[in-house]
């Protein structure tokens, strides 16, 4: 095979690959555990129920994976909200966080804080810290 036919074969293969990518059915994404528009109550586990609301999704993902600088860096990029703080779900990224001490991925939830001293502020929390308010979640479904 000469150089010209080899280049033509490579172009043809690249064209077929591009066609396959464009015409392929998109894979069904796993649904998030909370829906945009839901009202949630923020609370972590019973041992430490306060919740970090992060200023960016990548920082939250890094923190969940066990990658952060120091405590000073954490407090510079979070709001520490009390358990029971109400929030509105404005975004959800399914399975985006990969917690260091867990074998399963966790959804990352964008929220607007609706109560407490940080009312009106936006941020990101792990889905495990965002608990749907039963009556409002039922109406949204």
Domain count, the chain: 1
The H or E element containing residue 89 is: strand 85-97
CA 127 to CA 133: how far, in whole Å? 13
pLDDT, one tens digit for every residue, the chain (141 residues)? 555 555 555 454 444 444 433 333 444 557 899 999 999 999 998 889 999 999 999 999 999 999 988 889 899 999 999 999 999 999 999 999 998 888 899 999 999 999 999 999 999 999 999 999 975 544 544
Residue 46 counted as domain residue: yes
Residue 121 counted as domain residue: yes
Bridge partner residues of 85 (DSSP): 42
What is the reported pLDDT for 134?
74
Domain extent for 120: 39-140
Residue 29 counted as domain residue: no
CA 89 to CA 66: how far, in whole Å? 25
Residue 13 counted as domain residue: no
């Amino acid at each position: 095979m000469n150089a010209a036919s080899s280049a033509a074969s490579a172009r043809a293969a690249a064209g077929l690959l591009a066609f396959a990518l464009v015409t392929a059915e998109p894979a069904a994404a796993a649904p998030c555990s909370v829906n945009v528009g839901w009202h949630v109550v923020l609370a972590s586990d019973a041992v430490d129920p306060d919740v970090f609301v992060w200023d960016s999704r990548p920082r939250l993902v890094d923190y969940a994976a066990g990658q952060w600088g120091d405590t000073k860096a954490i407090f510079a990029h979070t709001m520490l909200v009390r358990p029971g703080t109400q929030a509105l779900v404005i975004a959800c990224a399914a399975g985006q966080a990969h917690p260091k001490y867990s074998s399963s991925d966790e959804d990352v939830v964008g929220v607007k804080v609706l109560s407490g001293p940080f009312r009106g502020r936006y941020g990101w929390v792990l889905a495990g810290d965002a608990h749907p308010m039963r009556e409002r979640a039922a109406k949204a479904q």
